[in-house]
């Protein structure tokens, strides 16, 4: 097996491929290869910088780390949709081709059987198979839905390069058997799919999802309690005082230790203090 090498990972998959007959599948595969080759050529990525694996209804490309990822993303966001529109204008309903795509980065090794090995590749494949990406393609009129890994978003997309508008990418979380995977979906998030807020929450605030109400600020913990001072002394009464219609006479001490003198009326009965 080769040593793991840093690669850009491109995955493209045909929607509803298994619903077609053999003749239609063969046609769709040719279109998939053609779209992929044209997109990579437009990005300036020739065959010397690529390794390809055929997965029937999908294609996997390992791209040399020296190739421009920004050029690849621009091509995927412009060339691929344009090609698909041109193809589908001339194709019958049974030969329409719509694609899901994933772009990620990571370390991948190639074994002696030309198999590709790497957890980053596994994560990219799970993003390609994610329900949120399937739903996004199904709900939108466009023929292409693209998702990028969190690492690629942080390194490229969030910097808002020309032709790669970061405002069009939205955070999503994909559940997998190895735990949740953070990713970024280009275009609207489908209904029912909760995105995760990757923005800074600010000091003293707890993080919340993008659909949450504003999160209350968390008070500082662990410091000494503020000094509120001693309680203010209660009043001292001299002379008769009426409370609730009754009178109490004599000197009394209230529950806080304040001296109360004189007569009081409480509850309609008169009493005398000692």
Quote the pLDDT of residue 248.
46
Please give the mean pLDDT across all residues of the chain.
79
Domain identity same for 95 and 180: yes
Containing domain of residue 82, as a range?
A: 5-186
Domain identity same for 252 and 179: no
Quote the pLDDT of residue 262.
54
**CB crowding 234-269: b at 16 or more within 10 Å, else e:** eeebeeebeeeeebbbeebeeeeeeebbbbbbeeee
**262 vs 116, more confident:** 116
Which residue in 183, 184, 154, 151 sits closest to 169, CA to CA?
Answer: 184
Pairing of strands 259-260, 252-253: antiparallel
Last residue of a domain, one of 166, 186, 206: 186
Q: What is the pLDDT of residues 5-35, one digit of tens each?
A: 999 999 999 999 999 999 999 999 999 999 9
Q: pTM for this structure?
A: 0.70
Residue 218 has pLDDT above 50, yes or no: no
Domain identity same for 23 and 114: yes
Domain identity same for 110 and 11: yes
Which residue in 6, 8, 16, 14 sits closest to 144, CA to CA?
Answer: 14
Domain identity same for 182 and 247: no
Last residue of a domain, one of 143, 169, 186: 186
Give 3-state DSSP helix, strand, coil % of the chain, rounded to 5.
Answer: 30, 25, 40
Quote the pLDDT of residue 263.
53
Residue 66 lies in a domain: yes
Domain identity same for 21 and 139: yes
Residue 232 lies in a domain: no
Domain identity same for 133 and 258: no
**CB crowding 85-123: b at 16 or more within 10 Å, else e:** eebbeebeeeebbbbbbbbbbbebebeeeeebebebbeb
**116 vs 244, more confident:** 116
Last residue of a domain, one of 186, 202, 228: 186
Residue 141 lies in a domain: yes
Q: How many domains does the chain have?
A: 2
For residue 96, CA distances in Å to 18, 28, 86, 114, 212 come to 13, 8, 11, 32, 39
Mean pLDDT of 57-82: 96
Q: Are 97 and 70 in contact (CB under 8 A)?
A: no
Q: What DSSP line would sit under 146-202, residue for residue?
A: EEEEHHHHHHTGGG--TT--GGGEEEEEE--TT--EEEEEESPPPTTPPP---S---
Q: Are 198 and 182 in contact (CB under 8 A)?
A: yes
Domain identity same for 40 and 135: yes
Residue 225 lies in a domain: no
Phi, psi dihedral angles at 105 (to 5 degrees): -130, 155
CA distance 104 to 150: 8
Q: pLDDT class for 97, splitting at 50, 70, 90?
A: very high
The tokens of 157 are what? 């997309």
CATH of the domain at 114: 3.30.70.1230
The lowest-confidence range among 54-68, 101-115, 129-143, 215-229 is 215-229
Domain identity same for 125 and 245: no
Domain identity same for 10 and 104: yes
Q: pLDDT class for 210, splitting at 50, 70, 90?
A: very low
Domain identity same for 52 and 136: yes
Residue 198 lies in a domain: no
Quote the pLDDT of residue 23.
94
Q: What is the pLDDT of residues 123-171, one digit of tens each?
A: 999 999 999 999 999 999 999 999 999 999 999 999 999 999 999 999 9
Domain identity same for 125 and 256: no
CA distance 26 to 23: 5
Residue 119 lies in a domain: yes
Residue 222 lies in a domain: no
Q: What is the pLDDT of residues 229-257, one digit of tens each?
A: 544 454 544 555 544 444 444 554 444 44
């Amino acid at each position: 097996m080769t040593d793991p090498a840093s690669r850009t990972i491109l995955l493209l998959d045909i929607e509803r491929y298994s619903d077609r007959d053999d003749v239609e599948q063969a046609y769709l595969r040719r279109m998939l290869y053609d779209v992929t080759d044209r997109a990579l050529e437009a990005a300036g990525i020739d065959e010397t910088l690529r390794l390809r694996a055929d997965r029937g209804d999908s294609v996997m490309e390992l791209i040399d780390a020296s190739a421009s990822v920004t050029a690849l993303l621009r091509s995927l966001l412009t060339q691929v949709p344009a090609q698909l529109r041109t193809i589908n204008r001339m194709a019958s309903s049974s030969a329409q081709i719509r694609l899901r795509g994933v772009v990620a980065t990571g370390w991948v090794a190639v074994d002696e059987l030309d198999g590709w090995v790497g957890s980053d590749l596994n994560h990219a494949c799970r993003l390609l198979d994610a329900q949120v990406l399937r739903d996004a393609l199904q709900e939108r009129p466009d023929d292409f839905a693209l998702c990028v890994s969190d690492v690629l978003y942080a390194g490229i997309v969030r910097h808002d390069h020309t032709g790669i508008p970061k405002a069009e990418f939205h955070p999503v979380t994909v559940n997998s058997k190895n735990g949740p995977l953070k990713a970024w979906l280009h275009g609207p998030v489908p209904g029912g799919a909760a995105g995760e807020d990757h923005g800074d929450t600010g000091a003293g605030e707890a993080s919340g999802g993008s659909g949450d109400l504003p999160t209350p600020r968390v008070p500082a913990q662990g410091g000494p309690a503020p000094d509120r001072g001693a309680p203010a002394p209660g009043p001292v009464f001299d002379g008769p005082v009426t409370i609730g219609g009754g009178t109490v006479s004599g000197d009394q001490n209230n529950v806080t230790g304040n001296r109360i003198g004189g007569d009081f009326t409480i509850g309609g009965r008169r009493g005398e203090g000692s």
